[in-house]
Amino acid sequence: MTTPLIDPFARAINYLRVSVTDRCDFRCLYCMSENMTFLPKAELLTLEELDRMCSAFIGMGVQKLRITGGEPLVRKGIMTFFQAMSRHLDSGALTELTLTTNGSQLRRFARDLVDCGVRRINVSLDTLDEAKFARVTRWGRLAQVLDGIAAAQEAGLRIKINAVALAGFNEDEQFTLTDWCAREGHDLTWIEVMPMGDLGNEDRIDQYWSLRDLRARYAERFTVTDLAERTGGPARYVRLEETGQKIGFITPLTHNFCESCNRVRLTCTGELYMCLGQEDMADLRAPLRASADNAQLDQAIRNAIARKPKGHDFDYSRQKVAGQMSRHMSHTGG
């Protein structure tokens, strides 16, 4: 069962995003409801089960492992899982172990992450304004996040800032964030808000800020050069010639990036989503727990990859949201 994972469209699946918890110390508007109902702890995969699950994927050719949440660093004992995964870096089976975080716990864990072989991280940060940060995260503390980013830099981690483009919220901070990233030496990627979760509370059409418009603003101030570079993910990159900065754009609405999709997402309960923008998923917890060996699990993984769709159906045209997912972003890893 070591044959690489190839989906029906001849795409090699070599990137696994793993949510280790649905819990978070923030409640970002586009990711969670303010009053979330979290899963009973008994439903979550144990850290040992997560090790076994991820190791099965790695045995079938997954080379990049990204740990997500919720906020992954709030899970109790999470460093034991990172330590366990580091053996796959040592063997050469994994080429990268990384995580996406809100930054709140980095002061505590940055050096431990480096010790486990993590070399770069993504930090979600949509604004540098303290009041606006408190509003978009509901519970967040900007000073704590900025201190965590500083701790990550001190530990030697490379940092990429992920900013969700939100109309009427951070449009006026496009260049503030860009200039700050330039000073601090961080890469910056902008992400279009996706139609996921309860639209009754947060209207995604009102929040939607097209990255075409954002890119056009850059062109008014900088010489913008398209880059052919790909990092195995959905981002497309440009260089701002005057500063040398690399800016990324993740555009599920204005550009469907699915043709090169190489990833799947595993939730903290063992649900495998073959596409972020589709409801279809496979239960891997049952075969994992059915037997001490991995025969049933391996077959379930291959059966799931055989159902991976060509792409998502997100669409904001005609002033309505099409392809909306009922689950919150936090369900499949932020």
Q: Kindly state whether residue 81 falls inside one of the protein's structural domains.
A: yes
Q: Kindly state whether residue 144 falls inside one of the protein's structural domains.
A: yes
Domain count, the chain: 1
Q: What is the CATH number of the domain that holds 263?
A: 3.20.20.70
Relative to beta strand 64-68, strand 96-101 is parallel
Question: If we measure between CA atoms, which residue out of 73, 79, 114, 118 comes closest to residue 95?
Answer: 118
Per DSSP, 165 falls in state E
pLDDT (mean) for 166-184:
96
Q: Kindly state whether residue 195 falls inside one of the protein's structural domains.
A: yes
Q: Kindly state whether residue 19 falls inside one of the protein's structural domains.
A: yes
246-290: per-residue pLDDT in tens? 999 998 655 555 777 899 999 999 999 998 777 889 999 999 999
Q: Kindly state whether residue 3 falls inside one of the protein's structural domains.
A: no
78-111: per-residue pLDDT in tens? 999 999 999 999 999 999 999 999 999 999 999 9
Q: Kindly state whether residue 8 falls inside one of the protein's structural domains.
A: no
Inter-CA distances, 121 with 240, 248, 326, Å: 22, 15, 28
Determine if the pTM surpasses 0.85: yes
Contact (CB, 8 A) for 50 and 98:
no
Question: Does 308 score more than 90 pLDDT?
Answer: yes
Distance CA 32, CA 279 (A): 18
Q: Kindly state whether residue 5 falls inside one of the protein's structural domains.
A: no
Give the SS3 label for residue 237: strand
Question: Does 142 score more than 70 pLDDT?
Answer: yes
Known binding positions: 17, 24, 28, 30-31, 66, 70, 100, 124, 160, 194, 258, 261, 263-265, 275
pLDDT band at 1 (very low <50, low <70, confident <90, very high): low
Domain with 100 in it: 15-331
Known binding positions for [4Fe-4S] cluster: 24, 28, 31, 258, 261, 275
Question: What is the reported pLDDT for 323?
Answer: 46
Question: What is the reported pLDDT for 334?
Answer: 52
Known binding positions for S-adenosyl-L-methionine: 30, 70, 124, 194
Q: Tokens for 237?
A: 């990159």
Q: What is the number of alpha carbons within 13 Å of residue 192 lying toward its C-beta?
A: 26
Known binding positions for GTP: 17, 66, 100, 160, 263-265
Distance CA 270, CA 20 (A): 10
Q: Kindly state whether residue 175 falls inside one of the protein's structural domains.
A: yes
Question: Does 15 score more than 80 pLDDT?
Answer: yes
